[in-house]
């Protein structure tokens, strides 16, 4: 009888583990490879960026502003990862990417796609009052251990167009409903807006997604998520966000303020979460 009870509890806790595996998901605007960033060139930041990602052991990461050579550098330096994401300027490799990286040991890719933040989302081009082309990339993944399927969406909102940012939130929510249906969803990205912005509030109050910050049991927010590469440029506002559907529990949320020799890996800090699908 004792052996039977013991085996029951082993099976029970294994079942619980399958139902609630931890997932470290992060959004990270890595700053595009700008030759005018004197003192903060990509060639000097690349290794610190890779080291940060590896040390914090991200399972899934959405990057913003990544040019093709930067996507290639990340892929080459992150063994055991794969990625999806197209260039926003031609739907191939030109321009910035909102690529999604994921560990192939933990997740298998089932589907992927991209759409532009505009009134014609299937075509390359800016939307509304946006100054630049903006793209949202997505993947459908299966957790290899639990068999659970979920979606990850990643985007970078326009930095000037106010209408474009509000409409981008509306469009992404529509796309999430049509692409993901009732499956678990993570939406992450640089929204160029804090928690008081209309486009953030539209997303956070949608009933489809909630900000992981407000759900987390443990929050580490020593400052905002943008630094402009300067200690005196650090803002209080968080403009990089990770939203989740109601399928998720959130254990931790953090702005990661890692530096190297007094320098910043990017002009944004990564925002990292620890999630589990219920």
Helices 68-77, 42-55: crossing angle, 10 deg rounding: 40
Say whether pLDDT at 64 is over 50: yes
What pLDDT was estimated at residue 57? Answer: 98
What is the helix (H) or strand (E) element at residue 55, kind and residue range?
helix 42-55
**End-to-end distance of the chain based on CA atoms, in angstroms?**
31
C-alpha 228: how far from chain center: 20
For the sheet with 210-211, list strands across it: 107-116, 135-143, 149-156, 185-190, 240-244, 210-211
Residue partners of 42: CB distance under 8 A and separation at least 6: 31, 33, 34, 69, 70, 73
Residue partners of 116: CB distance under 8 A and separation at least 6: 88, 122, 123, 124, 125, 127, 133, 134, 135, 136
Say whether pLDDT at 7 is over 80: no
Round to whole Å and give the CA distance between 69 and 32.
Answer: 10
CA count, 13 A, side-chain hemisphere, 25: 30
DSSP 247-260: TEEEEEEEE----B
Closest CA relative to residue 248, chosen from 221, 213, 222? 213
Closest CA relative to residue 25, chosen from 248, 197, 198, 193? 248
Round to whole Å and give the CA distance between 136 and 84.
Answer: 11
Residue with tokens 């474009």: 164
Give φ, ψ of 116 to 5 degrees: -90, 150
Closest CA relative to residue 30, chosen from 60, 61, 65, 71? 65
**Model confidence band, residue 14 (pLDDT cutoffs 50, 70, 90):** low
Q: Which CATH class is domain 2-277?
A: alpha beta
**166-208 confidence digits (pLDDT tens):** 999 999 999 999 999 999 999 999 999 999 999 999 999 999 9
Q: Where are the domains of the chain?
A: 2-277
Token pair, residue 245, equals: 């559907």
CA count, 13 A, side-chain hemisphere, 19: 8
Q: Are the C-beta atoms of residues 264 and 14 closer than 8 Å to each other? A: no
Round to whole Å and give the CA distance between 70 and 90.
Answer: 17
What pLDDT was estimated at residue 21? Answer: 83
**82-140 confidence digits (pLDDT tens):** 999 999 999 999 999 999 999 999 999 999 999 999 999 999 999 999 999 999 999 99
Say whether pLDDT at 18 is over 50: no
What pLDDT was estimated at residue 16? Answer: 46
Mean pLDDT, residues 59-80 taken together: 98
């Amino acid at each position: 009888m004792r052996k039977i009870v013991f085996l029951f509890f082993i099976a029970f806790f294994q079942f619980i583990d399958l139902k609630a595996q931890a997932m470290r998901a992060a959004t990270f605007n890595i700053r595009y490879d700008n030759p005018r960033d004197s003192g903060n060139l990509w060639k000097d930041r690349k290794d610190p960026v890779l080291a940060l990602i590896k040390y914090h052991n991200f399972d899934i990461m959405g990057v913003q502003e990544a040019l093709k050579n930067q996507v290639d550098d990340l892929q080459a330096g992150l063994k055991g990862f794969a990625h999806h994401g197209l260039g926003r300027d031609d739907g191939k490799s030109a321009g910035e990417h909102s690529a999604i990286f994921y560990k192939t040991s933990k997740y298998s890719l089932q589907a992927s796609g991209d759409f532009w933040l505009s009134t014609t989302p299937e075509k390359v081009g800016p939307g509304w009052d946006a100054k630049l082309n903006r793209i949202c990339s997505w993947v459908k993944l299966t957790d290899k251990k639990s068999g659970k399927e979920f979606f990850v969406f990643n985007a970078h909102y326009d930095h000037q167009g106010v209408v474009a940012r509000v409409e981008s939130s509306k469009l992404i929510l529509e796309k999430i409903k049509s692409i993901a249906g009732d499956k678990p969803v993570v939406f992450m990205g640089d929204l160029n807006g804090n928690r008081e912005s209309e486009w953030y509030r539209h997303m956070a109050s949608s009933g489809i997604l909630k900000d992981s910050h407000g759900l987390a049991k443990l929050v580490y927010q020593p400052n905002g998520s943008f630094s402009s590469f300067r200690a005196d440029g650090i803002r209080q506002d968080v403009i990089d966000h990770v939203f989740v559907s109601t399928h998720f529990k959130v254990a931790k949320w953090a702005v990661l303020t890692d530096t190297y020799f007094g320098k910043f890996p990017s002009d944004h800090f990564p925002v990292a979460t620890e999630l589990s699908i219920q």
